[in-house]
Amino acid sequence: MTETSRHAGDRLEITVSHRDLLGQVLDKWSVHVLDELCERPSRFNELRRAIPAVTQKSLTATLRRLERNGIVERVVVRSRPVAVEYRISALGKSLRTPIDALLGWVATYGEDVERARDRFDDEAAHEPEARGA
């Protein structure tokens, strides 16, 4: 059962479940993890080294969330000592194109967004009472 429905003109409706899933897949650390795992399977500490700003707690939560959503697979590697490796799933691989498109958009328009933020902040600083809450 999906909550996807179409409006007039075949426009997708954005539902609560859409927002929830997008929030879980496109959050701060998930994009980094997916980028790393699309290149190759990795162990936890390899991911920590590849994404130095992420805390152990945040990386653990991100991997569990991505695994729960079927985006990442956790594989126990039979070695001495036993190790755990994280791999991108087939479902996760299907995210590569849309994420690359979003990152391309950021690369193209990021400076425009920064300028818009600066203008907004400058105007807000000069007219704080005009903005209101």
> pLDDT tens for residues 66-102?
999 999 999 998 888 888 999 999 999 999 999 999 9
Backbone angles phi, psi at 118, to 5 degrees: -60, -45
- The side-by-side arrangement of strands in the sheet containing 83-88 is 42-43, 83-88, 72-77
Domain 1-89, second-level architecture: Orthogonal Bundle (1.10)
Check residue 80 and give its pLDDT. Answer: 83
pLDDT tens profile 5-21:
555 567 888 899 999 99
pLDDT at 1: 39
Cis peptide before 41 (omega within 30 of 0): no
- The alpha carbon of 26 is separated from its chain's Cα centroid by a whole number of angstroms, namely 2
